[in-house]
Every structure is written in structure tokens, then in C-alpha cells.
Structure 1
């Protein structure tokens, strides 16, 4: 696959801890405003510009994108974001609770996305895709990197590890959530070597997180192609910001489910129907310990659900989240389309099972399900056969920070 260096915008070192922000889509408006409070240079003022406008404003309206551009240009004018002297790539290491993962920060070609050399496993929502398309088009920039993964190559990993041991990072940030973020700027020689190795040894990559950002980058490139009669394919707008991690270093947490009602069943009727599909028993477990198992919380009691996968099941049908959806959520609870249903919520594993108990105990929801995490191997296998995972099948942790490197589409 194709990668190349880019001459992007980065924070001046003294501003980097303030600029670095959580991805726009893991916080709501109120949470984004709280994180950015007292931090005028947080990239949330760009990625979630509605926090600086009337609380009643439509977050997808034109004034929001105009405000984002105003903040983005101000940060450049004030020297918060500075242009690199020459094209380069970076290494980005994240560490939390003894777990580290290191990715290559680069730009990938939108044609590789179009041709499924960069493979997807999720559908996007039109409103969210439109939102990021409008933001990228307005800013002429990718502010948030797409999280890609690939099958590990020993030669690439050895080069990367050797460089990090010999060089000092340009940023070393300990974020309030306990994640350490380190960034190295690569030498020209290593950029050349890695470009060659990815072209010869890495036939494809997989979108781990950031499907809406990737789709939006592709859409903007299409708009720019159509508007440029001299299009060559090498213009900056053909390339979008990515971080490529080897799959063996990644950690996936479960994506849990909570449903607001029992679909007109009382508790006993519901348990009887579940027992006809799964082996069910009360348990002190709150999280499953293996695939083919989930834990269900209902009215102060946890239950263990186990099952046998169907013989000759496809990669998608083997997923625990697929089995829960196909055998319980749809037929028993009436959740026909979890992407659009207002009766189901998805809770990232980082919040723990205590959050599930809280949702049920406060009667905001009636039943919750603690899932075993999907694996990177499953994600790749499903993407390889062109299948789409159920929504909210994976929660990657730690999340990439936005603002540590920005790819601009012009210049």
C-alpha cells in the first residue's frame, strides 16, 4: 500500500499538551465543553466548534464550520500550530496501564480507500459523514487521524523500535486520563525505508477506528478532483491522515449494550424466552471470560448466557455481538436495526460494568449485556471477505489524540 511524507501542521512544543484532544466522536457537546474549558487552544474548539456557540445551535449548521475555521486560523496565526519545515512522518506511541502500542503517522491515498486496499468493516451514518465532510472541506485539513491496522511485519517493527531507542520524542505528554502520548519525528532515511517496506510487504490495511473520518476524506478528495481539470492524483487532497498500527500490539475492549425495556415482556417471560435460546444461569461474574459467553444484568442480578455457534458459520455470524443481535436483541427485544433504534444504547468497555449496573439500577434502562471483546483477527477476517460488522462491535483503547499532527489539503 502507498504511504508518503507530508508537510503538516504540528503544535509548538509548549502548546502540545493543551492542543491534544480526544476524538470528536467519543464525547458529547457537554463533555467536549468541559474538557476544553480554560483551554483556548484545545483542538476541540475546531473539531467541536459548537461548544463556542449558542447551546441551541444545530451542530451541523454553517456557523459551526465557520467558527471551526476561525479557531483553526487563529491557532496558526498565534503560533500554536506551526508548519513543519519539510515533509516527514512520525511515530506515535501510546501507553496505559503497562500496555503500549506504536503507530506510524503518515498519509494514505484515497484511491487505496476506494479500491479496498484500505478495508472497512462498518457502515457510516449519512449525517455524521456529511458533518466531517463539511469540516474537512471548510478547513482544508484532516485534523483527526484515521486509526488503521495491518498484519505485523518483523522488519518494520524492528526499524521502528530501533529508531525510538536511539532518538528522543518531540512530545511526551501524560494526559489526565492516564494515557502517555509520545511522538517522534522521523529521519528522511527512515521515511524512505518505511515507504518502500509498506509498498512491498503490506498489501492492505484495515480501518480500526474512524470510518466516518475516512469516508469524509475520500468524499472531499472526489470534490477536489472534479473541480481540478489538471488533476494528477498526487495533489495533497488525494492523501489523508492516518496512523498505522501493527495488529499484534492493539487492545480491543468490549462494546456493551443496554436496552431500555423488555419489549412488552415481564421479567419472567423474558427470562423464559432467553432460556429457550441460550443456556442461562445466575452468576457472580460481571464480564464474560471467553467467546461464546456474555453476562446479562437484570433487576439486581447478573446472569451468564452461553451458546454454541452455528456450524459452518461465516466470520460475521461467529461474532458474539452478531449472535446476541440475531438470537436475542431482534427476536425477543424487537431491536430490528440497532443503528437506528432509540431503545438501545452502546457503552464502551472503558466505562466498565459498573456503568451497566448504574443504567439498570436507575431504571434508565431495563437490561444490559456485558460482551467479550471482538479480536483484531476477527476484524481482519470479516473485512477480508467484505462483510460488515454489527454497529459498535469494537472499542479500541487508548484513543488517538487529535491535533498532534494535522494534514492540510492545499499547499
Structure 2
């Protein structure tokens, strides 16, 4: 039997992230985003104190770059010192974004902060606030950014503790869309002697297994439209029998949101405006008084499709969106419309034109047939991109498209070709 204790599991802080790629951003938005990772980290520390956890584990990528900024290191030092003053110990491993060989300022860290080295897996005792042994915490940091070894295979539980907690920055089962650093298999993590694997690297919140628990908390602050919704950490409570209770806590300072607006049934631009305004207010309401960076995707079949295909349509609607959202300088719960993407389609044919023997009919049928056949859709996409695929990045992008993405691309191409033909006929 063990003793009850609580810890906080967080990862991927990416302090001082530069937030590249945002265009025409007002100063208030730029400054809030610039400070958002620090504000989120401060929320994390407040959470640890409020929940009265015994210790904190940080599973890699505390900083955004190997040559971490001095500002980020000083903020880290200050925040961990505040936790130490409250008797909360912190255990840290470094990942691919902040490996051990990156530049580090010469700073004095509190005695209650332990940074795992990069030479071998260490086992360090973790105590409750009353001094009673709660667990052994195990970890190893990345010596350099590109770690392709299976670090999990080096973890071995040692006798002498009632609970064994492994901290690791890794890609489990080759999760798509993420660099395959420190690759390992869920089966090997679940079959060992550890009760909890505190993982980092994947920015989505995922519980891969329970008993033993294998957990990604996600990052603490979204950094792009690919990282939408609540972001934060897990508060984990363990009872005397080793039963685990997890509670996710949102720490994001700025939310990223993507809303889909359909044109189906909309006959006028006024109808679309009303739906866009509704999406803005929905995003604002979900943010719980926090700022939002919003992307809107306009899709569906409808009468407005042709009018939305004009070259300037997306830019014009985006400008209007920003006007409707109001100035970020005037309120704290601002919504900044970052982008508007149009992915609409023409209404389904009611007069049988797609079934006729004319060019539009042949084009529509060819598109449907290619989209339904994965091999044919791949050949069609490769042929269309034959010239540009000479560029390595574009070739990599093309190869990574899923069957669903290829189907959407072909459908959009058919729609655009049909619209161009109809537009020419009407002139």
C-alpha cells in the first residue's frame, strides 16, 4: 500500500514562441500572443498551488528553441522558484525543442527543481509535502534535437517506492503529423512496471491507456489554428491503493478557434452575414472572457457558391469580419479574425446537366469516378502537380494527402472548372 498524493502533469510549454505567419495583426493582438505562453505558464503555477499538488512534472519542450531566449529562462526560473517557496517540487525533462546541447544561461535553480540529465535514465524520489515518500520519478532529457533511439526501452523500475512515474518526451506508435523522435510502442509502455507515463511531444490531449496510464496532456497554449480549443494540464490524484483520478485543467491565455459556416439554404449575402456573426459570438462565448484567434471555413452547397468564387471574395469577407469583431484595443475578450477560407460547392444539379453528354457532364462524372477510386485519385493529383512536384516540400505535401483530402481536392477542382466555364458562357 502507498500513500495518497497529487501531482500536475504538463508538457510542451514552448515559452516565448514567436507565433509566425499572422498577417496584419493589430498591436494588441501581437502583444497578447507574444505574452500568451508566459501567461499560460503562470496559470499553470497558480493551478498547482490551488490544487495543492505535491509535485509537478514537465515532459519536455519547455522552450521553443534549442537556443532558448534569456527571457524564457528567467521566467522559468522565477515561476519554479515560486512553486518551490510553496514546497512544490518540479521534475523536468528536455525534448527536441530544448535539448541539453542548446544554449543555457548560467542560473541558480531552487533545490526543489530537478532537471533530468541526458546520459541515462535517472530515478529520483518524490515526496509529499509532509515529507513521506510518494513515488519514484524517472526521466531522461534529449542530448540533442534529433533523437531517434527508443528511450523508453531504457526505463527500468527500481524497488523501494509504492508508485513509479516515468516522464518521457516521445512519439508513441508513430503518431501521424509529428516528428518521430524517441519512437516507442504503446504495448511496451503498458506492459512495464510503471503506473503512469507522463508524456510530452504531441500537442493534442490524449489518454492512450489506463492502468497503467499513458498520457499526453497536450500543450498549455495553442500556437496556431491547428491547435484549437482548451489547452492545459492534468491534475492527477493517486490514492493509497494506487487508483488514479485525472482532471484536465485549461490554462490557455488565448484560444484558437475554427468555425464552419454553411451556405446551404442561404439565398442572399445578408443570410451569410448573419451566420458569420453568429459564429463570431459563438467563439467569443466559448472562450470564457479570453481573447480568440478565429479562422472561419465557409463550405456547403448553395446559391451563393458562384458569387463566392470571385478572386477577391474571401479577402472582402475577411475585412468585413474584422470590422464586425471590433477593435482588439477596446476590449480584453477580443476576437481576431485571422483567416476566412471558402470551400463551397455549387448546388446539386436539378436539371440533369451533370448527366448530359456535354463537357460539363463528362467533367463531373470523371471527377466523381476519380474521387471514389483512391489509386485513380492519387494518379490524377500527381499528374496535375507533375511540374510543381519537382520541389521537395511540395512532393512531400502531395504524398501525405489522405484519400479524403484527395477527394476534396478533386471535387474542388471540378467545381472551379465548371464555374469558370459557366462564367465564360455568361459573359
TM-score range, shorter chain: under 0.3
Q: TM-score, normalised by structure 1?
A: 0.25
Pick the structure with greater CA Rg. Answer: 2
Higher RCO, Cα 8 Å, sep 6+: 1
TM-score, normalised to structure 2's length?
Answer: 0.24
